[in-house]
Structure 1
Amino acid sequence: MYHTWMRFFTPSPVHHRLGLVCLGVGLQHGPLPAVGPRTLDHHVAVVVASGSGWFLGPDGRRAPVTAPALIWLTPGVPHHYSADPGTGWDESFVDFSGPATATYTELGYIDPDRPVVPLADAAPARAVIGRIARAARPGNPLLEVETAAAVHELLVALRQARADTTADGAPVLAALARDAFTPLTVAEHAARHGMTPAELRTAVRRTAGCSPKDYLLTVRLGRAKELLAGTELPVSAVARRVGYDDPAYFSRLFTRRVGTAPVHFRARQRVTLPGGWSTTVPDPEHKPTVSPCSG
């Protein structure tokens, strides 16, 4: 005996402009019947919280699925999968679509080349799916917007829960962020970690969804914004603090990526921040402790 609960939705064209829309949600457990072979026109994230089974992709090879795990079903790609008929599994799924799926794929949050992904923990994703299920209550006037927002959150939760990126991903990003303001090339950053530039690119893209150069630039510009908003340092000094000896080059780069010049960004943010500036992320349960930003 197996148990199934599912709901399906038809968002309007205006909801599709949110970037992502939820097309359905389901919770199932037990010795579920095999799915497919079939091909869909939208994405599905299948989260297997317990149990095991198999997945068969278009290459004809059967891959084992052992919980906790994620199965990606992508548009136009044939698939066939099943829980172990003896023990079954506990799964939850979300069907979704929208133009933002292309960006999430480019950033590595959706990985069509790896339909079966091991998870370190299925609980965060299951919690988001639970919220989608509760939003599916009859007569909910916010159904489409609530579920669309939750799909964005689900993709982030699944990205954070991937078990295959913890070992070489997070430490590399932390080290890059620490050294972001030093005048090192990508090759020199890679050498510091005993990697080739190609290996560093793979590790950073797998974790951050971008190249090492873009990741370093993001860290530098984030710090530059903090210094512009929270201090009275001249733009030239801000440029040097974040790793650029040429203030003119820094200003051009800042303007191109941020959309406004450093001086205009500062004017909009106000130089003096009431109460001071903190670089420590506050605990939501406690009031933040702030102190004047020294740069």
Structure 2
Amino acid sequence: MYHTWMRFFTPGPAHHRLGLVCLGVGLQYGALPTVGPRTLDHHVAVVVNTGGGWYQTPDRRRTTVTAPALLWLTPGIPHHYGPDPDTGWDEGFAVFTGPATTTYTELGYIQPDRPVVPLSDATGPRAVIGRIARAARRGNPLLEVETGAAVHELLVALRRARADVTPDGDLLLKALARDACLPLSVADHAARHAMTPAELRTAVRRGAGCSPKDYLLGIRLGRAKELLAATELPVAAVARRVGYDDPAYFSRLFTRRVGMPPVRFRAQQYRAVPGGWSNRIPDPDDPPMIEPSPAT
């Protein structure tokens, strides 16, 4: 016995230009029928919340699926899977496509060569799938945009929930972020963590989806923007604060990556905040508010 609910959508050309569109969503549980063998021309993320089953590759090798787990069904790759006939499983799935899937694959958020991904916790991804399901109510005028935006969120939630994203990996990225503005090369950072540059590249790409150089550069430029927008420090001083002894090189790098030179960024974004600038991130559940004036 099994239970299934699903909806399918047909976004228009304008929605496809947003980069990702959701084509469908489903919630199912029980001893579901076997799927495939089949080949799709779009992506499906199947999140198995409880239970277990199997996944069979095109060369007929079977992999055991134990919840919580993710099944990646990617375009052009044959797949065949099903829950255990005695116990079944509980799954939620989202169907999606769009040109942004190429970039998400390059960043490691979508893994066509890894169809079965153990998860540490399926709560986050299932919550996003639940929101897509709620958005799929009949007559929702925001359906295509709302569900497309949720697919972006789902890919992030799945990335965060992967069982191989270990606490050690998180600590490494935090340490790199802490030391990003020191005048250190990638090789210097690797040595500080008793790693080879190749090992550091692998760890950072697995945890952040980019190279150590790009990860450090993003943090440095973000800090530089804050200093340009909120202080009167000369550009040369800003460059030194974020790890660059050569202000001309910093300006060229900033211009190439940001699209404008530091002085122009400051002219657009400068805010005088004497005594008001803080590195403390506001609590999203208790954001800072201006107290209303007392009634007179």
Hey, what's the Cα distance between the residues in 2 that align with 1:187 and 1:41? 42
The match for 1:177 is 177
Q: Per-residue deviation at 1:275?
A: 6.5
Letter in 1 for 2:166: T
Letter in 2 for 1:46: V
Hey, what's the Cα distance between the residues in 1 that align with 2:270 and 2:223? 16
TM-score of the superposed pair, with normalisation by structure 1: 0.95
Give a deviation string over 1:7-39, Cα, whole Å, max 9, x none.
111111111001000011000001111111100
Letter in 2 for 1:190: A
The match for 1:259 is 259
Q: Per-residue deviation at 1:194?
A: 2.1
Q: Per-residue deviation at 1:274?
A: 7.3
Hey, what's the Cα distance between the residues in 1 that align with 2:30 and 2:287? 46
TM-score of the superposed pair, with normalisation by structure 2: 0.94
Q: Per-residue deviation at 1:87?
A: 0.4
The match for 2:192 is 192
1:32 equivalenced with 2:32 (yes/no): yes
The match for 2:294 is none
Spell out structure 1 runs of 4+ moving beyond 3 A.
none
Q: Per-residue deviation at 1:167?
A: 3.5
The match for 2:293 is none
My pick for the range that moved more, 163-172 or 28-37, is: 163-172
The match for 1:292 is none
Q: How does 1:1-295 map to 2 (within 5 A)?
A: 1-273=1-273, 276-288=276-288
Hey, what's the Cα distance between the residues in 2 that align with 1:69 and 1:89? 11
Hey, what's the Cα distance between the residues in 2 that align with 1:2 and 1:192? 54
Letter in 1 for 2:86: G
Contact 1:168 1:203 in 2 (8 A): no
**SS class of match (1:163):** coil
Q: Per-residue deviation at 1:288?
A: 4.0
Hey, what's the Cα distance between the residues in 1 that align with 2:181 and 2:164? 28
Give a deviation string over 1:51-103, Cα, whole Å, max 9, x none.
11111123432111111111100000001111111101000000000000001
Identity rate, percent: 78
Hey, what's the Cα distance between the residues in 1 that align with 2:164 and 2:275? 42
**SS class of match (1:279):** coil
Q: Which runs of 5+ in 1 are unaligned?
A: 290-295
Letter in 1 for 2:124: P
Letter in 2 for 1:268: Q
Give a deviation string over 1:191-219, Cα, whole Å, max 9, x none.
22222211111111111110001101001
**SS class of match (1:169):** helix
Q: Which runs of 5+ in 2 are unaligned?
A: 290-296
Give a deviation string over 1:139-187, Cα, whole Å, max 9, x none.
1111111110111111111111111012442111111111111222222
